[in-house]
């Protein structure tokens, strides 16, 4: 059996609540700028939660034609924009032949998919009858359409599908793209996650299950991962897309390499539909699997971009899981949660956080966990509170855990490590 090929990161694109591109998003993260505010997309009168982390000032016509924009759900628009940015950032020339489209794949996950389309078309059905349901409803709404549209945009004819694993969707997409490249089935993979679920039904549903912060009077301090006063996550939206390449292919074309994706661990808690396993075993095992595949000892991991949702259970149990996976070294690991600034982007969260982790490795700066005011005795690790930290990183993990008990950890190394 041939040896697995090595996989590197060569391009990144972001649409987020704190920036409409990689540079702006990264600058916001390292300076602790948040994206929280009153919801502008619909009237929140009567809603228990009235704020979110919305993408602001996004113009789809910068990235697609008017006719296309009318036929795409917002989550697909975000994914297409982020994908175009990622491919441009990678330096790949998809149109003029420095890569064979048969050797390019697309895997983009979504936790929910076209929620806006679903809700607006359901209103049309109830108010105007079945004949007024759009013929574009199904292809606009289904959760694989970001992968489909990006494949079409770049004539990428390699492996293409869409994992749907709640908040782990983007991490599964990147991990499975990594496996495709390891096997030699493709040379290039465009992968990540996208979500646009700040809708009346989503906000109402998550609020009803008591998952969301209710700090309507102070949205700017609402997301406070690992802080004793945390009371729930803040809904976000956007897309993070990365270009992964087989190492020798990337080197041969002179690509800029931002890091090596060297480990992928995925497990299931098999415990509860929403609550993490109380011993943290599934999450710990995912981290350990990623470290082992990367050929590292646990004490060589310097940084973890945590799932860190700002919910009471998640942050406590992720802390437990990190201790199980890393033992005494857990107290030396610099842990942050960029959800303290972006909110929780659901199916897009993992890919945006993968990008933040890659940039932390590349730039030698760990973004802070903002709004950290009161230490929780059950969350007693180093969460890089409130201020970015300059440090040289050898290896880092990003964690993503989804409803249903899905756990994913991805390990990124400096290529020279």
Q: Which residues contact 159 (CB under 8 A, 6 or more apart)?
A: 105, 106, 107, 180, 185, 186, 189
Phi-psi group of 110: left, alpha or beta (phi > 0 → left; psi -120 to 50 → alpha; rest → beta): beta
How many Å apart are CA 351 and CA 259, to the nearest integer? 15
Distances (CA, A) of 214 to 221, 231, 363: 11, 7, 35
| Domains in the chain with CATH codes | 7-252 (3.40.47.10), 263-413 (3.40.47.10)
Below-70 pLDDT ranges, the chain: 1-2, 97, 417
Q: Could you list the active site residues?
A: 167, 307, 344
CB 166 within 8 A of CB 401: no
Number of Cβ within 10 Å of residue 395's Cβ equals 24
With 0-12 / 13-18 / 19 or more C-beta atoms within 10 angstroms meaning exposed / middle / buried, residue 194 is buried
Phi-psi group of 253: left, alpha or beta (phi > 0 → left; psi -120 to 50 → alpha; rest → beta): alpha
Distance of CA 86 to the CA centre of its chain: 14
Number of Cβ within 10 Å of residue 388's Cβ equals 17
Q: What is the DSSP letter of 14?
A: E
The three-class DSSP label of residue 12 is strand
Q: Is the pTM of this model over 0.85?
A: yes
Transcribe 149-208 into DSSP letters: HHHHHHT--S-EE----GGGHHHHHHHHHHHHHHHTS-SEEEEEEEE---SHHHHHHHHH
Report the pLDDT value the prediction gives residue 252, as an integer from 0 to 100.
95
Report the pLDDT value the prediction gives residue 96, as an integer from 0 to 100.
76
The radius of gyration of the chain from alpha carbons, rounded to an integer in Å, stands at 20
How many Å apart are CA 55 and CA 22, to the nearest integer? 14
Transcribe 208-236 into DSSP letters: HTT-B---TT-GGG---TTBTT---B-BB
Distance of CA 393 to the CA centre of its chain: 21
Q: Which residues contact 135 (CB under 8 A, 6 or more apart)?
A: none
Q: What is the pLDDT of residues 309-326, one digit of tens each?
A: 999 999 999 999 999 999
């Amino acid at each position: 059996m041939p040896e697995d090929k090595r996989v590197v990161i060569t391009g990144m694109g972001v649409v987020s609540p704190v920036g409409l591109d990689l540079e702006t998003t990264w600058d916001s993260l390292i300076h602790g700028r948040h994206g929280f505010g009153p919801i502008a997309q619909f009237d929140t009168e009567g809603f228990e939660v009235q704020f979110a982390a919305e993408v602001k000032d996004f113009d789809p016509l910068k990235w697609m034609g008017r006719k296309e924009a009318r036929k795409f759900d917002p989550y697909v628009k975000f994914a297409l924009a982020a994908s175009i940015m990622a491919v441009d950032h990678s330096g790949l020339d998809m149109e003029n032949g420095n890569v064979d489209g048969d050797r390019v794949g697309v895997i983009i996950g979504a936790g929910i998919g076209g929620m806006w389309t679903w809700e607006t078309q359901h209103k049309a059905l109830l108010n105007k009858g079945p004949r007024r349901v759009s013929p574009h409803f199904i292809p606009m709404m289904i959760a694989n359409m970001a992968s489909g549209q990006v494949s079409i945009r770049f004539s990428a004819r390699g492996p293409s599908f869409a994992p749907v694993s709640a908040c782990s969707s983007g991490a599964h997409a990147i991990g499975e793209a990594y496996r495709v490249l390891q096997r030699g089935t493709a040379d290039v993979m465009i992968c990540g996650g996208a979500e646009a679920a700040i809708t009346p039904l989503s906000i109402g549903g998550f609020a009803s299950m008591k998952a969301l912060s209710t700090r309507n009077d102070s949205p700017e301090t609402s997301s406070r991962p690992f802080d004793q006063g945390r009371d729930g996550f803040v809904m976000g939206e956007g897309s993070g897309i990365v270009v992964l390449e087989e190492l020798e292919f990337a080197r041969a074309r002179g690509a800029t390499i931002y890091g090596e994706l060297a480990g992928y661990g995925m497990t299931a808690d098999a415990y509860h539909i929403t609550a993490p396993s109380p011993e943290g075993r599934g999450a710990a095992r995912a981290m350990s699997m990623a470290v082992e595949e990367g050929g590292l000892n646990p004490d060589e991991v310097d940084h973890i971009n945590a799932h860190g949702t700002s919910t009471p259970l998640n942050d406590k149990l992720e802390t437990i899981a990190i201790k199980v996976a890393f033992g005494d070294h857990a107290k030396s690991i610099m842990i942050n949660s960029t959800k303290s600034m972006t909110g929780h982007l659901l199916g897009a969260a993992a890919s945006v956080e993968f990008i933040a982790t890659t940039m932390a490795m590349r730039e030698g700066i760990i973004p802070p966990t903002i709004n950290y005011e009161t230490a929780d005795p059950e969350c007693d690790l180093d969460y890089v509170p409130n201020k970015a930290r300059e440090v040289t990183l050898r290896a880092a993990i990003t964690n993503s855990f989804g409803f249903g008990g899905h756990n994913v950890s991805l390990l990124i190394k400096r290529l020279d490590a």
